[in-house]
Structures are given as structure tokens and as C-alpha cells.
């Protein structure tokens, strides 16, 4: 598989990936494959083939989700990304066949992205890893607020929050950050003083979409 009309955005949380995918699709009349677009995959996922993606679907008590150890949480996140990649690679041929530019907020790995699209079709957006850890519950996302509420319901809320924070620290490690930074793709750092339009221009330039 090689996708000439697909453009991928990867990176850390709070770096603007979702915003850029939406803005690129709007400006270029393209298709936006937004965060978790794999949820639109038709059919029922087999728990044996997709144990991480079906974990929450088959969960009896959501408190068990937040009670996992930091390493268990990271392992689940890593596994879910691998399973998402499998689904995305099944969905993209049909999406890309529609004759439009396709902009993807993706879980596809760096190694796979090098194989399936031109190098300048992937852009890395990075923010300080500490932002993802310290501001995880600042967003009004229903999912994040639901998890926060669960932790407050625990017998020792502060311990529950600290346990979850340690899981985020494993996920947002310097090693993961360095892998993205030195991936070989164009990198754009988060800058609070830059407008959305200015960041969009930088992404377009990196992707060869200007002019």
C-alpha cells in the first residue's frame, strides 16, 4: 500500500494535531480522518484479535480501568495503537480512493508511515511532555472528565490520581518524545504565541501544499 493523496499528522498531546487535521481538510476540500476515526470501522471487533480495543467495550466496572498499574496502562495504550494501525490500514484504501486529499490524525507507527507515503506527507507536532501529564484533565472532553470523576469516587482519590499520572509519565516519556523528534519527518514545536493560521501555514509548507 502506498497513499499518494494521504497526509498524516502525528505527535504528542496538546500539540494541535486534531485542529490541524480539521483545518487542512477544510482549506483543501479534503477528507478529515480525525482522532479515533477507526471507531467507524464496520463490524464487531473480535476480542481475541483486538484485546486492547475491546477492553473497555467488555469492561464490567470502569473503576477497574483506573485501578491498573502505570505499566499496565502504558502496555494497554501501546497495544491499542498497534491494533488501531491494523484497522486504519484496512480503512485507508477506501477513504483514499474517493479522489480527494486525505488528512489523518493517526496511530500508524513511524516505521509504517515511512513505507506507505512520501516522507513529506507526515508531519510531527510536538509539545512539552509535561503539558500532556499536568493538563490531562483540563480539557472538557467527556471521556477525560468521566475518568476524573471515577478517580474522585475512589476511597483515596489523591492516590488514584497519582497512579494515573504515573501512567501518563510512562506514556509521555522522554524516550517517546525523542523518537518523534528524530523520526526524520518534519517537526513543528508548539508555540503559544503562534496563531492557528500561522501553524497551518507551517504544516502546509512542510507537506508541500503551498503554491
Within a domain: residue 66?
yes
3-state helix, strand, coil in the chain (%, to 5): 50, 10, 40
Domain assignment of residue 50, given as a range: 6-207
Within a domain: residue 20?
yes
- Residue 108, classed as helix, strand or coil, is coil
Could you read off the pLDDT of 102-125 as tens digits, one per residue? 999 999 999 999 999 999 999 999
Within a domain: residue 122?
yes
Q: Give residues with Cβ within 8 angstroms of 96, minimum separation 6.
A: 3, 5, 6, 102
Could you tell me what percent of the chain has a pLDDT over 70? 100
For residues 184 and 135, give the distance between their C-alpha atoms in angstroms, rounded to a whole number. 28
Within a domain: residue 109?
yes
Within a domain: residue 201?
yes
Could you read off the pLDDT of 124-163 as tens digits, one per residue? 999 998 888 888 888 788 888 999 999 999 999 999 999 9
Indicate if the pLDDT at residue 9 is higher than 70. yes
CATH of the domain at 67: 3.40.50
Within a domain: residue 1?
no
Provide the whole-model pTM. 0.93
Give me the torsion for CA of 129, 111, 210, 199, rounded to 10°. -10
- pLDDT value of position 30: 98
Query: Count of domains in the chain?
Result: 1
Largest CA distance in the chain: 58
Within a domain: residue 111?
yes
Within a domain: residue 151?
yes
pLDDT band at 211 (very low <50, low <70, confident <90, very high): low
Amino acid at each position: 500500500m502506498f497513499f499518494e493523496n494521504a497526509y498524516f499528522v502525528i505527535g504528542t498531546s496538546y500539540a494541535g494535531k486534531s485542529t490541524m487535521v480539521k483545518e487542512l481538510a477544510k482549506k483543501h476540500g479534503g477528507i478529515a480522518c480525525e482522532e479515533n476515526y477507526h471507531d467507524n470501522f464496520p463490524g464487531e471487533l473480535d476480542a481475541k484479535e483486538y484485546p486492547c480495543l475491546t477492553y473497555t467495550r467488555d469492561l464490567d466496572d470502569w473503576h477497574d480501568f483506573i485501578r491498573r498499574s502505570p505499566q499496565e496502562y502504558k502496555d494497554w495504550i501501546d497495544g491499542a495503537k498497534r491494533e488501531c494501525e491494523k484497522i486504519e490500514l484496512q480503512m485507508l484504501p477506501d477513504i483514499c480512493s474517493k479522489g480527494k486529499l486525505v488528512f489523518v490524525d493517526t496511530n500508524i507507527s513511524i516505521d509504517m508511515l515511512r513505507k506507505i507515503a512520501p516522507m513529506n506527507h507526515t508531519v510531527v507536532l510536538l509539545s512539552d511532555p509535561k503539558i500532556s501529564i499536568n493538563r490531562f484533565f483540563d480539557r472538557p472532553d467527556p471521556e477525560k472528565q468521566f475518568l476524573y470523576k471515577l478517580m474522585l469516587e475512589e476511597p483515596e482519590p489523591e492516590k488514584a490520581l497519582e497512579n494515573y499520572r504515573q501512567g501518563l509519565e510512562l506514556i509521555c516519556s522522554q524516550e517517546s518524545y525523542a523518537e518523534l523528534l528524530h523520526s526524520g519527518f518534519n517537526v513543528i514545536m508548539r508555540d503559544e504565541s503562534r496563531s492557528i493560521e500561522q501553524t497551518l501555514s507551517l504544516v502546509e509548507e512542510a507537506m508541500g501544499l503551498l503554491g
